[in-house]
């Protein structure tokens, strides 16, 4: 069975909010029975965007995480809503606006917090993946259509194809510990969930940046190498996709004709080690 899957590239999202605005444009003052009633003008974000800063000045990274409904394989909302929330054969999870009427408790069923309460309509609401448009022959929902950077795309594939795509593009799910098996997948999710070690290398005796310095990060206890980088023409480096709160590491700097330099790094979160002088 082929099912719809939304794929979001965290590295390409610039927080422009075009996806949110396109969603609002589609659903504000518009009913699409049997899938949804009109979205309120204010107070709901069917595709919300979280933000995260990593590092310290001047080595800082900002990432954005668009969060629509995850359209899970095993949705907690479907399990707990007594028929008011259902999943179609194509994987789209929908709230029945008639059966869900007067049930604000449905908003508490999503572990991701992606179901909203419409006070005027007295109904729980969320992203429908523009099911009414897909049913009408559209190849993509409004959020995907409006994304200017290509950070969002949608595919309709079977499970084997999805597994191969996830392997080829290193796609992940957000907060898999919720155990609902989210269908929405993320590329470059490490930009939001993991951390980095960054800094610069300079040559003290000639007052110049050390371009081409070899940077190695090793586990302090075992000596195992977990990352490597080469400084750019400004002497800057970054080793990314590291596990937060993972302990102490040794950062090793090597540059021709200069003594090797080592410093200890306690990796609790992303860290800028500053300028390392050789």
pLDDT digits (tens, 9 = 90+) for 198-211: 999 999 988 899 99
Give me the pLDDT at residue 159, please. 93
Beta carbons within 8 Å of 132's beta carbon, 6+ residues apart: 32, 35, 36
Q: Are the C-beta atoms of residues 160 and 166 closer than 8 Å to each other? A: no
Give me the pLDDT at residue 31, please. 96
Give me the pLDDT at residue 186, please. 98
Q: Which CATH superfamily is domain 195-277 in?
A: Immunoglobulins (2.60.40.10)
Beta carbons within 8 Å of 80's beta carbon, 6+ residues apart: 106, 109
Nearest to 74 by CA among 1, 171, 179: 179
Percent of the chain topping pLDDT 90: 98
pLDDT digits (tens, 9 = 90+) for 11-68: 999 999 999 999 999 999 999 999 999 999 998 999 999 999 999 999 999 999 999 9
| Other CB atoms within 10 Å distance of the CB of residue 150 | 9
Interval 100-107 mean pLDDT: 96
Domain boundaries, the chain: 3-192, 195-277
| Other CB atoms within 10 Å distance of the CB of residue 185 | 22
Considering the domain delimited by 3-192, tell me its CATH architecture. Answer: 2-Layer Sandwich (3.30)
Q: Give the pTM.
A: 0.92
Q: Are the C-beta atoms of residues 209 and 250 closer than 8 Å to each other? A: no
């Amino acid at each position: 069975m082929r099912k719809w899957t939304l794929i979001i590239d965290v590295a390409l999202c610039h927080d422009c909010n075009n996806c949110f605005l396109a969603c609002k444009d589609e659903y504000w003052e518009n009913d699409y029975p049997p899938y949804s009633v009109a979205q309120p003008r204010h107070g709901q974000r069917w595709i919300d965007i979280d933000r995260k800063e990593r590092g310290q000045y001047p080595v800082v990274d900002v990432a954005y995480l668009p969060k629509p409904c995850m359209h899970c394989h095993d949705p907690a909302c479907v399990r707990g809503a007594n028929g008011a929330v259902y999943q179609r054969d194509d994987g789209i999870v929908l709230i029945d606006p008639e059966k869900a009427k007067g049930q604000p408790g449905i908003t508490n069923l999503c572990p991701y917090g992606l179901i909203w309460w419409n006070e005027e309509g007295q109904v729980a609401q969320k992203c429908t993946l523009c099911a009414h448009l897909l049913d009408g022959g559209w190849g993509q929902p409004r959020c995907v259509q409006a994304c200017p950077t290509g950070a969002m795309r949608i595919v309709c594939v079977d499970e084997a194809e999805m597994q191969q795509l996830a392997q080829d593009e290193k796609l992940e799910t957000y907060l898999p510990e919720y155990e609902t098996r989210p269908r929405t997948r993320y590329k470059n999710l490490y930009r939001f969930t993991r951390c980095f070690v960054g800094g610069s290398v300079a040559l003290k005796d000639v007052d110049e940046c050390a371009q081409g310095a070899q940077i190695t990060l090793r586990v302090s206890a075992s000596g195992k190498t977990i990352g490597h980088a080469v400084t750019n023409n400004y002497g800057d480096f970054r080793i990314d996709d590291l596990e937060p709160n993972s302990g102490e590491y040794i950062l090793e700097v090597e540059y021709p004709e200069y003594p090797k330099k080592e410093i200890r790094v306690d990796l609790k979160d992303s860290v800028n080690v500053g300028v390392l002088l050789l």
